[in-house]
Amino acid sequence: MEAEKRKQQEFFDLAERFRSATDPEEVKRLGHRMGRMVFGSTAPHRPAGQ
C-alpha cells in the first residue's frame, strides 16, 4: 500500500514538472517518462511528430 502511494506521488510530482517545463526537449523527455509510468516500458516508441 505504501509503495502505491509513493508511486502515485512520484507521478504527481512528474506531472507538475511536465506542466511547468518550458524547454521543448524537457517537455518531450518528461512526457515520455510519464507515458512509461502509465503504459509501462513495453509501450511502442513513436518518433516525435508522428
Q: Tell me the pLDDT tens digit for each residue of 34-44.
A: 999 999 876 55
DSSP state, 11? Answer: H
- Residue-range domain boundaries for the chain: 2-39
Predicted model pTM: 0.71
Position 17 scores a pLDDT of: 97
Task: Give the pLDDT confidence of 1-50 residue by residue, as tens digits.
Answer: 899 999 999 999 999 999 999 999 999 999 999 999 999 876 555 665 55
Among 12, 19, 20, smallest CA distance to 37 is for 12
Position 1 scores a pLDDT of: 86
